[in-house]
Each structure stands twice: as C-alpha cells, then as structure tokens.
Amino acid sequence: GRHLLGISDLSTEEITLILDTADAMREVGQREIKKVPALRGRTIVNLFFEPSTRTRTSFEIAEKRLSADTLSLAVSTSSVVKGETLLDTVSNIEAMAPDMLVVRHGSSGACHQLARHCRSRIVNAGDGLHEHPTQALLDAYTMRQHKGRLDGLQVAIVGDLLHSRVLRSNLLLLRKMGATVRVAAPRPLVPIGIEALGATACRTIEEALDGADVVMMLRIQLERMQNNFFPSLREYFLLFGLTAERMALARPDAIVMHPGPMNRGVEIASDVADGPQAVILEQVANGVAVRMAVLYLLGGGSEE
C-alpha cells in the first residue's frame, strides 16, 4: 500500500517481506556500511504529538541511514500550542512538499484521517488506543530472531491491555502469523471483545505465563487513566508484576519483552528487566532496522 496505517491492512506475505527486508537493513549502520542512498532526495517529516523516546529516535536514525532529508517538528514549540488543528498543521507541512510523514497522535484514527487528506505517504507511529504497527513489527522481528519462527509460538501479554495500541497491533500480527496469545490483567484493564481478536483472556498472570515462549509486559499507562488506579501500584505489582519466581512458569528458554518505557517495580521487577532472559534493548536495536525496512518499502523503490 501507499501508507502504513496498521497491521490490520497487512497480509502475512507483506509482514514477512518487511521482516526479511529488516534482516538486510541490520548491516547498515555497522562498521562497513554507515548509510545507503535508498531514500536520497526524499524528505521525511516526523510529527510526534505525543511524547516518545524510542520510536522517534529510531525513525530519525532509520531515515538518516537511508540518506533521506529529515526533520522532526517540535510540537511543544510549534503553532499547535496556539490551537492550530491537526489537519491545518499537516496541510501547512505538506505545502512544503515532503514525501513521507511519520505521525504519532493521541487520537485513535488520526493517521487514517491524514491518509485520506494528504498527498504524502503516512507512517503510523502510534495513534491513540488504536495501533502502533512498527512496534508490533519490531517485536515480531525480535521473536523470530530468538525463536526462529512465529507460527506456533505461545506468547503471554500482561499489563494495561485496555489502553494499549501495542497490544492491539501485536495481537493482530501474531494471530495472522499463527502464534497463540494469552493475555492477563486486572479485570478493569481487560478490553471488552479481546477474545474476538483471538486472545485467550486469563484471570491470573500465572495462567498466562504457563509454558510461554515469549513474555511481553505492558506499561501501566497512568496518563490515560481518568480515575484513581485500582488496585494501587503496589498491589498491582503483587498481583500482576513479572518476578523471577513467576518467570519460572514460562519455558526455560522464554524471552522477556517490554516496548518501553518501563515502570520498574510496577509491571516488571528490575532484576527480570535486566536479567539474562530480557531482550528489551534488542527490541530497541531491531526497531531501527524494521523502520528502515518500512520506509524503504514505502518510498525507496517503485511507486507501489
């Protein structure tokens, strides 16, 4: 397609193509090849209306390694703070003729709306509670790297399921690729209809972790919660936190993942986050290669 709006639009063949292309991109940025000319002459603007460390940085590095001309709008010092709408802001950026826009926004569906109005190719870097497709792709890449496959993998996803676009995109991708997904969270944080998306909802973290190949922890998103969080963060850790003791329920060769940013001592114990089974920083490293693959496939070759 012209854009990357969500995993829901991708076929299994397209997902595999992105992961295979990322394999080739891993070489770029190493000692031998610092950058490639694939996107020379293309202009990419990164528009992050919500905070980001990993996604924004890795898109910027990916763009530079593909030789694109790239800039990031500093939203907090832009005219967005004067009340300019998303569409007006983007129309003005588009008047300067960029080729691609990488967009993170707090509203679910913001990227779809832009795709209907824009000339540029849109890459969704996270829209509200909806999707975060490049995160799911880098997670899948990391799982495939460690486990050799996605088909048949048993994946446990535990944490704030309700507010998680990472969950949604991962669930869509993993089900398409033949993995099994078990989820666990306190009942108020389990979205209605999660089983219709192909997940098995467990009452306890122990049930979700039993025999898992992959354990993915999700951040408690306090900034998206209106009321006081119940149970308290301390109770949450006692009931649903990933500890070394609980990790022993998963397969001995299981990997521990977290999209970041982590709340240490809330959803994950520090010794597990820093332990030998954690691949959390590998996820970040793989994010650059996966985002290079996405940008290259959207804008590097033919116009398809």
Annotated catalytic sites, by residue? Answer: 54-55, 82, 104, 132
> Phi and psi dihedrals of 60, rounded to 5?
-65, -45
- Residue 104 assigned ligand-binding role: yes
One residue of 46, 55, 164, 286 binding ligand CP per CB under 6 A: 55
Distance CA(141)–CA(151), nearest Å, equals: 13
Residues touching ligand CP: how many (CB under 6 A)? 10
In order, the DSSP letters of 103-161 are EEESSTTHHHHHHHH-SSEEEEEEETTTB-HHHHHHHHHHHHHHHS-STT-EEEEES--
Q: How far is the CB of 237 from ligand CP (least distance, A)?
A: 21
Residue 138 corresponds to which tokens in the numbers above?
């880098």
> Phi and psi dihedrals of 209, rounded to 5?
-80, -20
| SS3 call for 37 | coil
Nearer to ligand CP, 38 or 101 (CB): 101
Q: How far is the CB of 154 from ligand CP (least distance, A)?
A: 23
| SS3 call for 301 | coil
Distance CA(226)–CA(110), nearest Å, equals: 21
Distance spanning both ends of the chain, measured CA to CA: 7
**Among 178, 257, 177, 270, which residue's Cα sits nearest to residue 218?**
257
- 52 lies in the binding site for ligand CP (CB under 6 A): yes
One residue of 24, 27, 34, 53 binding ligand CP per CB under 6 A: 53
The region of 2-10, 28-36, 48-56, 74-82 touching ligand CP under the rule CB under 6 A is 48-56
One residue of 6, 191, 241, 259 binding ligand CP per CB under 6 A: 259
Q: How far is the CB of 293 from ligand CP (least distance, A)?
A: 17
Burial class of residue 131, CB neighbours in 10 A (0-12, 13-18, 19+): buried
One residue of 26, 54, 251, 264 binding ligand CP per CB under 6 A: 54
- Interface positions, 103-142, toward ligand CP (CB under 6 A): 126, 135
Q: How far is the CB of 165 from ligand CP (least distance, A)?
A: 9
- Residue 132 assigned ligand-binding role: yes
Residue nearest to ligand CP (CB): 55
The region of 33-41, 146-154, 242-250, 254-262 touching ligand CP under the rule CB under 6 A is 254-262
- Residue 198 assigned ligand-binding role: no
Residue 292 corresponds to which tokens in the numbers above?
């290079």
User: Where do the H-state alpha helices sit in the chain?
Assistant: 12-25, 54-65, 86-94, 110-117, 133-147, 165-176, 205-209, 233-240, 244-247, 270-273, 280-299
The region of 83-91, 143-151, 240-248, 259-267 touching ligand CP under the rule CB under 6 A is 259-267
Residue 206 corresponds to which tokens in the numbers above?
């122990």
Q: How far is the CB of 53 from ligand CP (least distance, A)?
A: 4
One residue of 221, 260, 262, 285 binding ligand CP per CB under 6 A: 260
- List binding-site positions for carbamoyl phosphate: 54-55, 104, 132, 135, 260-261
- List binding-site positions: 54-55, 82, 104, 132, 135, 165, 219, 260-261
